[in-house]
Amino acid sequence: MLGPMKGGLEKLMAQQLEKLQRMQEELATERVEASAGGGMVTAAANGMGELVELHISPQAVDPEDVEMLQDLVLAAVREALERARELQQKKTMELTGGLKLPGLGC
> CATH number of the domain that 42 lies in?
3.30.1310.10
pLDDT digits (tens, 9 = 90+) for 85-96: 999 999 888 887
Q: Give me the residues of the chain with pLDDT under 50, please.
A: 1, 106
Domain that includes residue 43, residue range: 29-100
Is 1 part of any domain? no
Its pTM stands at 0.75
The reported pLDDT for the residue numbered 39 is 96
In the chain, how many domains are there? Answer: 1
- Specify the pLDDT at position 74: 98
Residues 46 and 52 sit within 8 Å (Cβ to Cβ):
yes
What is the chain's percent helix, strand, coil content, to nearest 5?
60, 15, 25
